[in-house]
């Protein structure tokens, strides 16, 4: 199926690693021009150079900043406008989860987590809204988590923030229609830098990577028996961001290997 992404302009936040990087690759492979950001400049520059080599420097734009810095996000939107002339799709992916129970989450932790989960979406959406409105195929795909609907006690503030975000996205799907479609993906466990960090900090250093990941999949009772690979949500992101999904808005797509417990 042709997704209709050729020559479209796509922006991906958090594009230097994991799911965001896999999404950047899928968009480039499908012929789009892609702008992406991350905070860490070293990894960003390495990734951007590799992608420019493979797909052409005129199709890749990378900038280092935090999506929590509204001025920096606005500056990035200006660069995208100046370089590519507009924006057809925005993927709000930047972020990470926080492992903590109610007992060990301080007020400062709550504020930090709520700020990350909401403003990592609000700043880019505000900054790119006018360009997305101008596009004939404007679309936002927000990367969210199954925790939004299925909270986990060991990730209490991330779960609550994810639920609030899902609610916000539904409102935006109505407010930004009919010009901009707004959809989300709900992730289960996907192998990325986040899980690599948790593997590196494992209790039993004698456990191999395969053993640790297999045990994790068993503990989490993932019906497909494994964690997802970043390319798997990336393909779903590309579909929802593309003109091929032209009649889909306000929807959520679960990408979790079947781990949800609701019908
Ligand atoms: P990775 O850590 O592999 O990638 C995260 C990317 O986001 C990196 O490029 C990182 O670069 C960037 N980033 C993080 N914070 C910021 C920020 N404030 N401003 C700009 N860029 C930022 O993680 P994943 O691919 O796993 O995560 C992608 C999204 O999916 C996250 O929002 C995460 O919470 C969510 N998610 C992931 C799950 C999983 O199992 N993998 C499960 C549920 C949700 P840098 O650090 O240099 O800024």
- pLDDT digits over 56-75, tens only? 999 999 999 999 999 999 99
Q: How far apart are CA 226 and CA 255, in angstroms?
A: 12
Identify the CATH number of the domain defined by range 9-190+229-255.
3.40.50.720
Question: In this predicted structure, what is the pLDDT of residue 263?
Answer: 85
* Contact predicate 180/132, CB 8 Å: yes
Q: What is the pLDDT of residues 103-121, one digit of tens each?
A: 999 999 999 999 999 999 9
- pLDDT for 13 beyond 90: yes
- What CA–CA distances, in Å, run from 22 to 28, 73, 180? 10, 21, 23
Q: What is the pLDDT of residues 79-107, one digit of tens each?
A: 999 999 999 999 999 999 999 999 999 99
- Sorted by sequence, the CB contacts under 8 Å of residue 57 that are 6+ apart come out as none
Q: What is the DSSP string of 39-99?
A: S-HHHHHHHHHHHHHHH-GGGEEEEE--TT-HHHHHHHHHHHHHHHS--SEEEE-------
Q: Which residue has 């009919």 as its token pair?
A: 178
Question: Is the CB of 14 within 6 Å of ligand 1?
Answer: yes
Q: What is the mean pLDDT of residues 110-135?
A: 98
Ligand 1 atom with the shortest distance to the CA of 116: 18
70 or 195: which leads in pLDDT: 70
Q: How far is the CA of 46 from the centre of ligand 1 (A)?
A: 17
* Contact predicate 217/200, CB 8 Å: no
Domain ranges of the chain: 9-190+229-255, 191-227
- Sorted by sequence, the CB contacts under 8 Å of residue 167 that are 6+ apart come out as none
Question: In this predicted structure, what is the pLDDT of residue 152?
Answer: 95
Q: What is the mean pLDDT of residues 193-213?
A: 91
Question: In this predicted structure, what is the pLDDT of residue 193?
Answer: 85
Q: How far is the CA of 186 from the centre of ligand 1 (A)?
A: 14
pTM: 0.97
DSSP classification of residue 243: G
Question: In this predicted structure, what is the pLDDT of residue 194?
Answer: 84
174 or 197: which leads in pLDDT: 174
């Amino acid at each position: 199926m042709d997704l209709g992404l050729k020559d479209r302009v796509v922006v991906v936040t958090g594009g230097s690693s994991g799911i965001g990087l896999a999404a950047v690759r899928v968009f480039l492979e499908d012929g789009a021009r892609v702008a992406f950001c991350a905070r860490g400049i070293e990894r960003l520059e390495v990734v951007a150079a590799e992608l420019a080599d493979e797909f052409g420097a005129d199709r890749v734009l990378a900038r280092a900043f935090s999506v929590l810095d509204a001025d920096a996000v606005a500056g990035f939107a200006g660069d995208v406008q100046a370089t590519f002339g507009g924006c057809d799709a925005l993927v709000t992916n930047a972020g990470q989860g926080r492992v903590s129970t109610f007992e060990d989450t301080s007020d400062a932790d709550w504020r930090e987590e709520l700020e990350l989960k909401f403003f990592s979406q609000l700043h880019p959406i505000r900054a790119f809204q006018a360009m997305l409105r101008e596009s004939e195929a404007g679309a936002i795909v927000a990367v969210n988590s199954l925790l939004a609907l299925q909270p986990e006690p060991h990730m209490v503030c991330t779960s609550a923030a994810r639920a609030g975000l899902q609610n916000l996205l539904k409102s935006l799907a109505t407010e930004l229609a009919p010009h901009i479609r707004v959809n989300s993906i709900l992730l289960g466990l996907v192998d990325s830098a986040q899980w690599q960090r948790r593997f590196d900090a494992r209790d039993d250093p004698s456990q191999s990577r395969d053993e640790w990941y297999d045990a994790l999949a068993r503990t989490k009772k993932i019906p497909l028996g494994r964690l997802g690979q970043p390319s798997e949500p990336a393909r779903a992101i590309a579909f929802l961001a593309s003109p091929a999904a032209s009649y889909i808005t306000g929807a959520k797509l679960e990408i979790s290997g079947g781990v949800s417990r609701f019908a």
